[in-house]
Amino acid sequence: MPTLLQIDSSADPSHSRSRALTAAFADAWRARGPEYTVVHRDLHTAPLPHLESSALHWAAADRTAEESVAPEAEALRQEIIDELLDADAVVVGSPLYNYTVPSSLKAWIDRIHVPGVLAPAFDGDAQPLAGKPVVTIVSRGATYDAGTPTEHWDHGSPVLELILGTALGMRQYPITVSATLADRLPALAPLADHAAAEFHDAKTTLERLATTVV
Ligand SMILES: Cc1cc2nc3c(=O)[nH]c(=O)nc-3n(C[C@H](O)[C@H](O)[C@H](O)COP(=O)(O)O)c2cc1C
């Protein structure tokens, strides 16, 4: 039974672009047939706690003698990791908040980037998620075009690429929509048509990707 893990982190329940796009991807996934299921984790409405202990960054076998982890915290990390391992594909909605990923998504990342479990810690360590498709959808209020002063201000997209793509070895399909605040901020109003076209293209791309990614 092919399973999609749909992750949302936008704090906007009604007009979120990233939520609309993860939903479009999930709908297209379900439309492939009744065996195509979706597990939805909403990190905004059901937030994960911040890491209870830095020891959670490590596999149990790699902790020092002073490091201990409460059983509930260990169980929660395992639940999050198992959910990722069990999925055949993953779609992640990630708004740009203060130039980085939302703190709710960061709390999830802190539980999955575990050297020795999902990422190599030492030579020869496996990457059990290597090659698994992950579609990342970054929605940004402003623009970050090459050659402009804000070109390097998006620090959220590189985090997703480094953790999911590089550390975990997943096959990443990055999708970005920008100028989403064009219908709210007068200064961005001239970009409204461009933003709408980019959103439309992203939706079309995602609906096609959902039928071919696995
Ligand atoms: C707390 C907060 C911080 C934000 N910070 C930024 C920012 O640093 N850069 C930016 O381009 N847009 C920023 N925005 C605008 C959002 O990126 C934009 O509204 C985006 O569409 C949010 O994703 P969503 O539509 O899926 O909710 C911020 C919005 C909020 C609520």
* pTM of this prediction exceeds 0.85: yes
User: Could you tell me if the CB of 44 is within 6 A of ligand 1?
Assistant: no
Confidence of residue 126 (pLDDT cuts 50, 70, 90): confident
- Atom 2, ligand 1: residue with shortest CA distance: 97
DSSP line for 101-132? --HHHHHHHHHH--BTTTB--STT---TTTT-
User: Could you tell me if the CB of 139 is within 6 A of ligand 1?
Assistant: yes
User: Could you tell me if the CB of 16 is within 6 A of ligand 1?
Assistant: yes
Confidence of residue 120 (pLDDT cuts 50, 70, 90): very high
Domain housing 195: 3-212
* CATH number of residue 92's parent domain: 3.40.50.360
> What's residue 122's pLDDT?
82
Minimum mean pLDDT range among 100-114, 117-131, 183-197:
117-131
> What's residue 121's pLDDT?
86
Count of domains for the chain: 1
> What's residue 69's pLDDT?
96
- Atom 23, ligand 1: residue with shortest CA distance: 95
User: Could you tell me if the CB of 96 is within 6 A of ligand 1?
Assistant: yes
pLDDT above 90: residue 44: yes
Token couple for 172: 């990443």
